[in-house]
Structure 1
Amino acid sequence: MVLLAIYFSKKEVNSGDDFIIAGHRLPLIVVIGTLTASWVGSGSLVGGASFVYQYGPLAAIFYFLGGPLGIIAMYFIAAKTRALAKRTVPEMLEVRFGKKTRLFSTIFILLTYISVLSYQFISGGYILHITTGIPEQLGSLLTVLFVIVLAATGGLFSVSYTDMFSALLIIFGFIIAVPFILVEVGGISTLVSNLPDTKFTVTGGLTPLQLIGYFLPLLVYIIGDQSMLQRFSASKTEQTARRSTIGFFIGVTTVYCLITFFVTASIVLLPNIKPDTALIEIANQSLPLPIGVLILAAFTALLVTTANSFLLSMSGNIVYDLYGQFKEKLPEEKYLNFNRVTVVVIGIIAYLMATFFTSVLELSIFAYTMYGASVTPVILAGFFWKKATPQGALASVITGGVSTILFEIVGNPIGGNTILLSLPISIIALVGVSLLTQKHSVPITTDSIKQ
C-alpha cells in the first residue's frame, strides 16, 4: 500500500482533481474494487459483525439488506453523477439548489464522515490489540498515522488501486477459510442446532420497529454516500460508472453472506467475546495460521483504505465547499497542497473523537442516520423530482441533520433508532416547503448539465 501511494504521488497526482477524484480516469475493474472496499469497512466488518453476533443470522438479513437494495437504486444515478463530473456532493447539489444548500449539506456531511472515520480507527485499535497485545488506543494511533501517510501522498489513485486488491484479498481469504470453519463447527446442521434459540429467530429478539431502525440507515446512506458518488465521478466514462454498480452489488452481497456465516460460527465457537471483535477473534483463534493472517491482513487493509476514502472526501469538502466558496480560486498546485494539509488535520481530530466512543455499531448507525436523513433525500430529489426547490432542499438538509442530533441527545420518543423520526421529518420538509415555494425547476439531467 505504501509503495502504491508513493508511485501514484509521483506519476499521477498533479492537481486537486487528481487527488480527490483521480482525474476522472479510473477503469471499470478498479471502480468496482474501490466501491466494494470503501463500503465494506469497519461498519460492516466490525459494526455489522457486532449486530450478527448479538441478534443472529436471520435478523442480519434485515440489517444488511439495505446495502444491496441501495446499490440497485445507485444504478440509476451513477451515469448522471459521472456526467456532472463534480468533486463533492455539495458541489453537485449546488447545480440545482444553490449555494446555501451546498453550505449546509457540507456541514452535515463533515459531521457524518468524522464519525465514520473515527470508528475505522477504533477498529484498527481492536485488530492490533488482539493480534499483538498493544493497548487499543495505541493501536488506533498507529492506524491513524498510517492512514494519514497513505491518504496525503497518492490521493484517490492510490486508495482506489489498494481498494481493488484489498477487496479481492478479503473475499479470497474468506472463501478458502469456509471449509476450515465448517470442520470446526461440525457442519451446517450442527452449527444451526448449537445456536441459542434467541439467535435463530427472524427478529433476533428485536421488535419490528427496531429492525426497521437498523435497516433504513444503511439503505438511505449508501444511495447518497459522497464517497461512493465520488467514485462514479472518478470513472472514465458514464457507461463505466453505471456498469460498476453491477460488480459492486455482487461484491457487497458476497461479503455480507460470508460475514454472516463466520460470525454465526463465532457465536458457537467463541460465546464470550466482545461482539465488535467477532470476525477478528474467529480469524485469530479458529483458523490455521496462514489463513488467519491472510484474513486479518486483508481486514486491516480494508479499514485503512476506507479511512483513506473518508479522509479524502472530507478534505474535498473543506477545500472546495467551504474554503473555495469564500476565498479566491487557488492555483491547482496550491489546492493539492491544501488538500494534503487538511487530510492531516482531519485525521488528528477523528482520532481524538475515537477516544470517546467504544461501540462501532452505535457510532455507525448514528453516522448513517445523519447522512441518510440530511443529504440523501435532497440528492434523489435533485435527480428525479422536478418540483423540488432550493428552499425545500435547504429545509430538508437542516431539519434532517438537526433532528438527528436532537433525538440522539434526548432519545427517540417512539423507540428504535433515530432515523425512524428524522428521515420522515426531512422528507416532509422537502416536499412541503417545495410545494409552497413552487417555481420552474427541473431534475438534474445530462442535457441540463451541458446547458
Structure 2
Amino acid sequence: MYSVKSSKLFNLMPFLLGFAAIAYVGSMLLGNTGMILEPDGLDRPDRILPVMLFKYAPFALASLVCAGGAAAAMSSANSQIHSMSAVYTVDFHQRFINKNMSQKSLVWVGRIAILVFALIAYFMSVFIPGLLVNVGLVALSGTAQVFVPTAGILFWKKSSPTGAIAGLLTGVVLLCLFTFTSMSVPFGLHSGLFCIIINTIVFLVVSAVSKPREAAIIAQQEEEKAIYNKAY
C-alpha cells in the first residue's frame, strides 16, 4: 500500500516535508523586503530576486547567486522537459499515432518533443510577463486539490471515481479562471481555498449520486489498511 519499506521512514516523512517548507520562508522574506524597498512594485514580479541583488548587494555576490539560481532552474527545467517528452512519446505518440514504432524512431520522436517543449517554454517565459508567478500559484494550489479525493477515498466508502474526477476538474478549472482572468473570488477568500471548498462539494454530491467503487477494491483497501495498522 505504501512505497516505503521502513515504518520509521514513513513516520518521518511528515516531519521532512514540514522541514522542507522552511525553504519557502526565504522567498516570503524576499518578497516582503521587495515591497518595502520597491514600493512602486516591479513590472515583472518574478524578477524580484535579481533586481534586489544587483541593486542592494555587491556585484560579485549578486552574480554568484543569480548563476546558482539559473543553474537550479535549468536543472529543474531539464528534468521536467525530459519527463514531458517521455510522457508524450510513450503514452501518446506510441499509443495513438504509431503503435509499431521502432526504438530508434521513438528516440527521435523524444528528441523532437524535447526541442518543441523547450521552445514553447522559452517563448512563454519571454513574451508573457509574470507567467512564472501565475504558473507557480496554479501549481501549488492545484496540487492541493488532490487532497479532497485522496481523503475521500481513504475515509469514505461511498466515494466514487466519477466524483473524484468531477471535483478535481471543477477545482482546477476555477483556479485557472481566477488566476488568468479578471474573475474575483467570492467572499474575499483565497482562490486555492475557495476551489478546495467547491471541489469538496462537487466530490460529495457527484459521489452520492454516481456508482461507487467496486466492493472488491474497497475490501482490498481495508485489508491493506488493517495489515499496516497491525504491523505498525
Which one of the candidate residues 435, 448, 451 is aligned to 2:208?
A: 435
- Distance in 1 separating the partners of 2:61 and 2:20: 20
Are the aligned partners of 2:144 and 2:196 in contact in 1 as well (CA < 8 Å)? yes
- Distance in 1 separating the partners of 2:108 and 2:18: 35
Which one of the candidate residues 380, 389, 396 is aligned to 2:160?
A: 389
Deviation at 1:358, TM superposition (A): 1.5
- Distance in 1 separating the partners of 2:149 and 2:121: 27
1:258 aligns to what? Answer: 26
Q: Which runs of 5+ in 2 are unaligned?
A: 226-232
1:282 equivalent to 2:55? Answer no
What is the SS of the residue equivalent to 1:429?
helix
- Distance in 1 separating the partners of 2:154 and 2:104: 33
Change (3 A) 1:392 1:273: closer
Deviation at 1:288, TM superposition (A): 3.1
- Distance in 2 separating the partners of 1:337 and 1:446: 45
Deviation at 1:293, TM superposition (A): 2.7
Deviation at 1:320, TM superposition (A): 4.1
Q: Which runs of 5+ in 1 are unaligned?
A: 1-78, 84-236
Matched letter for residue 347 of structure 1:
A
- Distance in 2 separating the partners of 1:315 and 1:241: 32
Change (3 A) 1:331 1:351: same
Which one of the candidate residues 117, 121, 134 is aligned to 1:346?
A: 117
- Distance in 1 separating the partners of 2:154 and 2:107: 30
Are the aligned partners of 1:315 and 1:342 in contact in 2 as well (CA < 8 Å)? yes
- Distance in 1 separating the partners of 2:112 and 2:154: 34
Are the aligned partners of 1:382 and 1:444 in contact in 2 as well (CA < 8 Å)? no
Which one of the candidate residues 186, 189, 198 is aligned to 1:425?
A: 198
Matched letter for residue 133 of structure 2:
L
Are the aligned partners of 2:161 and 2:212 in contact in 1 as well (CA < 8 Å)? no
Greater Rg over alpha carbons, structure: 2
Per-residue displacement from partner, 1:41-73 (whole Å, max 9, x unpaired)?
A: xxxxxxxxxxxxxxxxxxxxxxxxxxxxxxxxx
Equivalences for 1:26-425 in 2 at 5 Å?
A: 80=2, 83=3, 238-239=5-6, 242=10, 246-253=15-22, 255-272=23-40, 274=42, 275-323=45-93, 325-326=95-96, 328=99, 335-359=106-130, 360-373=132-145, 375-382=146-153, 385-407=156-178, 408-409=180-181, 411-412=183-184, 414=186, 415-425=188-198
TM-score (norm. length: structure 2): 0.66
Are the aligned partners of 1:404 and 1:418 in contact in 2 as well (CA < 8 Å)? yes
Per-residue displacement from partner, 1:392-413 (whole Å, max 9, x unpaired)?
A: 2232233233333455546136
Deviation at 1:421, TM superposition (A): 3.9
- Distance in 2 separating the partners of 1:330 and 1:238: 37
Are the aligned partners of 1:383 and 1:445 in contact in 2 as well (CA < 8 Å)? no
Are the aligned partners of 2:185 and 2:191 in contact in 1 as well (CA < 8 Å)? no
The number of aligned residues is 213
What is the SS of the residue equivalent to 2:81?
helix
- Distance in 1 separating the partners of 2:106 and 2:154: 29
TM-score (norm. length: structure 1): 0.39
- Distance in 2 separating the partners of 1:249 and 1:400: 25
Deviation at 1:284, TM superposition (A): 1.8
Q: CA RMSD in A?
A: 3.9
Q: Which has the higher contact order (CA 8 A, sep 6+)?
A: 1
- Distance in 1 separating the partners of 2:129 and 2:185: 24
Per-residue displacement from partner, 1:18-58 (whole Å, max 9, x unpaired)?
A: xxxxxxxxxxxxxxxxxxxxxxxxxxxxxxxxxxxxxxxxx
Deviation at 1:389, TM superposition (A): 2.0
Deviation at 1:444, TM superposition (A): 6.1
Deviation at 1:308, TM superposition (A): 2.5
Matched letter for residue 250 of structure 1:
F
